[in-house]
A and B are shown apart, each in its own frame.
Chain A
Amino acid sequence: MADWPPEFDALLRRHCRLVGTDAPIRPDALLVTLGMDSLEVVEFIVAIEDAFDLVIPQEMLTPEVFGTPSSVWRTVADLRAGVAR
C-alpha cells in the first residue's frame, strides 16, 4: 500500500505519463515503467522541491533514489524529517 500523502500522489500522476487518473500506483513499480524518463524526471525533481519546500542534494539525484515511487518518497520523507542518509 502506498504510504505517501495526496500531494505526492498528485505529483506522481502528473509526471508519470502511463499512470491513469485513478489507477492505484504500486510503491515498488519502476518509475520508468510508469512513463518517467530522463527528461520528465527533471521537472519531477523541481515539482517535489517546490511542493515540499526542500532541496534534494545533488548526490541523491541517482537512478536508485528515482527507481520507484517508494524510494523517492522515502528520500523526501527523510529530507523533511532531517534524517541524514
Chain B
Amino acid sequence: MADRLSRISRENRYDVYTLFEWPSSLPADRYWISPELMTCYGTELWDELDEPCRVELSHREAVNFFSVNVHLIRELIGGVAERIYTTRYPGLSEFFHDFIAEENVHAWFFATFCQRYGGGVYPARRVELGRPPVEDVLRDVVVFGRILIAEELSDYFNATMANDERLPEICQQINRVHHEDESRHIAFGRQMMRELRDEATRQVGADRIAETGGYLARYSDFCLQSLYSRQAYAQAGLERPGDVRSRLLSHPRRAELHRAAVGRTVGFLNRIGLVDAESVPW
C-alpha cells in the first residue's frame, strides 16, 4: 500500500509556491470558515451575536483552525522523521519521505494564510510533560494514532469547506487541496493502526493497550478543545474570553459537532480494539 501511495503522491505533486493566488486582502464581510463549523454555532452565543460579529469571529476561528493545523503538522513531521530510517519500518522510508514532503507543504500554506491575513500563527500554548510508553509498539500506537486523529478531524473541516462558496476562493482552495492530499495519509494511517494493533496484541498485555487507548481517547478531546481559542474570542471582541470558552465547551449542542468531527475516527479505533468509544468525553 505504501508503495502505491508514494507513487500517487509523486504523480500528483504540485508546486505549492505557484499553486495559490494570494489576494492582497480578504473581504471583511464574508465568512472565512463555514458558520456551521464555528465553535458558537448552535448555542445561545450564536443567537446573541449580530452578523458582523459572527463574521469577524469566523476570521479569527479560521486563523485558529489553520494555526492548530500548523502545530499538529509540526508534531507529526517530528514523529515520522524519527522513524524514517528505523529497523522497525525498513519498507516505509520512501513513503515517509513523501509524507513529510506533503506535510511540509501543508504547513506552509496554512501558515502563509495566518501570516497574510491573521497577523501570524497563533502560538501553541503547550508544555511537553511525561514520557512516552516504554514499549516500541505502544510508542508507535501513540504517534500514529495521534496523526490519524488529527488528520481525520482536520479533514472533516476541509471536506466541508472545500466547496463552500460563502468563503473566499483562497479559503476554499486551501481546504480543497488539503482534503485531496489527506485522503492518502488517512488510508495509510488506518492500515498502520490495524497492523500496530496486531503487533501490540502479540507483544503487550491488554491492560497496557487499554491504557494507551485511553490516552488516544483523551487526545481526541484535546484536539477538539484546541478549536476553542481564547485568543480568537478576544480578538473578535468578545468579553471574558475564558468564560466564553468554558461555556461553549460544556454546551450540550456542541457534542453533536464533536461527534460529527471525530466520531468516525473514534469508531474506527473502537472497532479495531484500541479505544473505548465510551471513554471519549464528548
Contacts and interface: CB of A to CB of B under 8 A. Distances in A.
Contacts of B225: 42-43
B222 A63 contact: no
B127 A62 contact: yes
A45 B129 contact: no
Contact of B129 (A37, A50, A58): A37
A61 B127 contact: yes
Given A42-B222, A43-B225, A46-B230, A63 B242 contact: no
Contacts of B218: 39-40
A25 interface: no
A61 B129 CA distance: 11
A58 B127 contact: no
Given A46-B230, A46-B242, A50-B243, A39 B222 contact: yes
A42 B215 CA distance: 15
A36 B129 contact: yes
Contacts of A58: 123, 125
A37 B211 CA distance: 14
Nearest to B226: A42
B219 A45 contact: no
B242 A38 contact: no
A49 interface: yes
A61 B242 contact: no
B128 interface: yes
Instruction: Give the size range of A's interface with the partner.
Output: 20 to 34
B203 interface: no
Contact of A41 (B123, B129, B245): B129
B183 interface: no
A46 B128 CA distance: 16
Interface string A24-64: 00000001100011111111011001100000001001110
A63 B123 contact: no
A45 to B, nearest CB: 6
A63 B230 contact: no
Contacts of A73: none
Interface string B210-246: 0000010011011001100010000000000011011
B129 A42 contact: no
18 contacts: A32-B129, A32-B130, A37-B129, A37-B130, A39-B215, A39-B221, A40-B218, A41-B127, A42-B125, A42-B127, A45-B127, A46-B230, A46-B242, A49-B242, A50-B243, A58-B125, A61-B125, A66-B127
Interface of A: 31-32, 36-43, 45-46, 49-50, 58, 61-63, 65-66
Interface of B: 123, 125-131, 215, 218-219, 221-222, 225-226, 230, 242-243, 245-246
